[in-house]
A = this chain, B = another copy of it.
């Protein structure tokens, strides 16, 4: 290993801190705009994601107009009413109490899409696992999310919308796949825990229970946390 390739302990700590303190943010957005140079760095982080066959299949739609945000919010509201009806009793009550989007409050929305035919039908690395280009685009979303956290920007992934509404409102042609709609902006604080953990929707699983050795279902002899 060449010395200059190494990350220092301080750099490593910063990266782990960012991964640990990234949150899915749907509230507490401040109205301050995201400066163009900050947005450019965050988008460049997305563009630096790994991609199958170096396809770089992504596009980034930056949304700032109120009319677009309102249309997306209306689509969310329709979908969320359908979603709420799928839960029962106390779960339905808790569901309805959750804030699951920040589409109107966030100063900026970002839609990340995947163009599957960007290099024709045959793509190196996609020949046997056909979803690899979609996965590449998701890696770009996670890079954006982490870069945004490093810029002290909150990001929330809003998935409670029909894909047909995303296509229509954002004029996304049919062969292009919308992957993520993100709300983004400065926030007054970052929560210490995920909202769904804090509100008791679901518990944090123990990492040791999720790790297998050699084959699915076979436990580590020594817990990873040991």
Chain A residues within CB distance 8 Å of chain B: 1-2, 5-7, 10-12, 14-22, 24, 30, 36, 39-41, 43-45, 47-50, 52-56, 58-65, 68, 79, 82-83, 86-87, 95, 98, 100, 113, 119, 122, 124-129, 131-132, 134-135, 138-139, 141-143, 145-147, 149-152, 157, 159-163, 170-173, 176, 179-180, 186-190, 194, 196-197, 201-202, 204-205, 207, 210-218, 220, 222, 224-226
Which of B15, B19, B55, B202 is close to A202, meaning CB atoms less than 8 Å apart?
A: B55
Which of B15, B100, B145 is close to A125, meaning CB atoms less than 8 Å apart?
A: B100
Known: A7-B18, A7-B151, A173-B216. 4 other contacts (CB 8 A): A5-B21, A7-B150, A87-B122, A138-B138
Copies of this protein in the assembly total: 2
CB distance from A68 to the nearest CB of B (A): 6
Given known contacts A6-B152, A142-B143, A159-B52, A201 and B124 CB-to-CB distance under 8 angstroms: yes
CB distance from A80 to the nearest CB of B (A): 9
Does A86 lie within 8 Å of B127, measured CB to CB? yes
Q: Collect the chain B residues with CB atoms within 8 Å of residue A139's CB.
A: 138-139, 141-142, 145
Q: Collect the chain B residues with CB atoms within 8 Å of residue A125's CB.
A: 100, 159-160
Please list 16 pairs of residues, one from A and one from B, whose beta carbons are closer than 8 Å in the complex, sorted by A's number: A7-B14, A7-B150, A19-B147, A39-B224, A50-B145, A54-B196, A60-B211, A60-B212, A61-B213, A68-B214, A79-B128, A131-B134, A132-B159, A139-B141, A173-B216, A176-B216
Considering the complex, give the chain B residue whose CB is closest to the CB of A111. Answer: B216
CB distance from A131 to the nearest CB of B (A): 8
Does B171 lie within 8 Å of A217, measured CB to CB? yes
Which of B98, B142, B161, B189 is close to A49, meaning CB atoms less than 8 Å apart?
A: B142
Considering the complex, give the chain B residue whose CB is closest to the CB of A59. Answer: B210
Most chain B beta carbons < 10 A, residue from A100, A124, A201: A124
Which of B16, B59, B143 is close to A41, meaning CB atoms less than 8 Å apart?
A: B16
Does A127 lie within 8 Å of B220, measured CB to CB? no
